[in-house]
Amino acid sequence: MTTQSPGPDDDRPADEPRASDLVGAAIGGAARRAGIDPAAESTTGGVVWKAMGGIRGVLESVLPSLVFVVVYTLAPEPLIFSLGLSVGMAAVFTLVRLAQKSPPAAALGGLIAAGAAAALALFTGQGRDNFVIGLVTNGVYGTAFLVSALVGWSLIGLAAGFLMNEGTSWRRDARKRRVFFWLALAWAALFFARLGVQLPLYLANETTLLGTLKLLMGLPLFAPLVAVTWLAVRALYPAPRA
């Protein structure tokens, strides 16, 4: 394994924004909104639960896909019936978020994704195409984490550097670079594992099995990796003693 040393980009004036700063701020901000902040005092279980969005986040992640899989399995035709129920479930969650004054982008994100996936499936007439966006997303995320690790700019490191107010100075610490390298590889492996299992089922037109494994490889794999990431980053940035 090799990791790159800081390049000349690290010597820029402090007030000059860099791509690494912008990426770190974007990922770190998303992590903080999800309740993952190494600088905060929280238990591992609490962090994982917040990252999943609590009970509402779990329901939002599971129910629309579960409804589609169950209804499609029992009554594959007409396709619009199972898709409509799935999107309708996502719409209910969106209305609840809006009623509770959640940020519009966060409230509408899931509904837009569900609507786009359903529209594609209706356009092609294939129920399996309801999962295309998820397959593409896994491929993009997996590639991003893998490339970031290999070039020495781990996305986990960029996010942690932003959250801990140290920018990219973690790249001058061999231990931090090593930990962030392996964490980025772990996240890449998660996304590629999903893609590797689900893509053959998509190509084989095994829609019910594809949807079932999508659910099983969702939160059940996401939660443990969040916990591992949290514990590893907290070990690098121990909380100051009172």
pLDDT digits (tens, 9 = 90+) for 139-183: 999 999 999 999 999 999 999 988 888 888 899 999 999 999 999
Q: How far is CA 237 from the centre of its chain?
A: 23
- The per-residue pLDDT of the chain, averaged, comes to 85
Residue 13 maps to a domain: no
Which residue carries 């059940």 as its tokens? 220
CA-to-CA separations, 40 to 28, 37, 44, 168, 230, in angstroms, rounded = 13, 5, 11, 20, 11
pLDDT at 229: 92
Given a cut of 80, whether residue 32 has pLDDT beyond it is no
pLDDT band at 68 (very low <50, low <70, confident <90, very high): very high
Between helix 155-163 and helix 19-33 the angle, nearest 10°, is 70
pTM summary value? 0.84
What pLDDT score does 34 carry?
Answer: 63
Q: Is the pLDDT of residue 49 over 50?
A: yes
- CA nearest 187: which of 234, 226, 236? 226
With tokens 């996305």, the residue in question is 155
* Ranges 10-14, 47-51, 65-69, 208-212: which has the least confidence: 10-14
Residue 3 belongs to some domain of the structure: no
Q: What is the pLDDT of residue 206?
A: 95
CA distance 102 to 238: 32
Q: Decide if 11 is inside a domain.
A: no
Q: Is residue 91 part of a domain?
A: yes
Q: How many domains is the chain built from?
A: 1
CA distance 19 to 23: 6
Within a domain: 218 = yes
Distance CA 151, CA 154 (A): 8
Per the CB < 8 A criterion, the answer to whether 186 and 228 are in contact is: yes
Q: Note whether residue 66 is domain-resident.
A: yes
Structure confidence at residue 1 (pLDDT): 45
Side chain identity at residue 126, one-letter code: Q
Confidence of residue 33 (pLDDT cuts 50, 70, 90): low
Mean pLDDT of 4-15: 46
Residue 175: both structure tokens together: 């231990």
Domain that holds residue 227: 18-236
Residue 5 lies in a domain: no
Least Cα distance to 230 among 103, 44, 74, 55 occurs for 44
Domain-located, residue 1: no
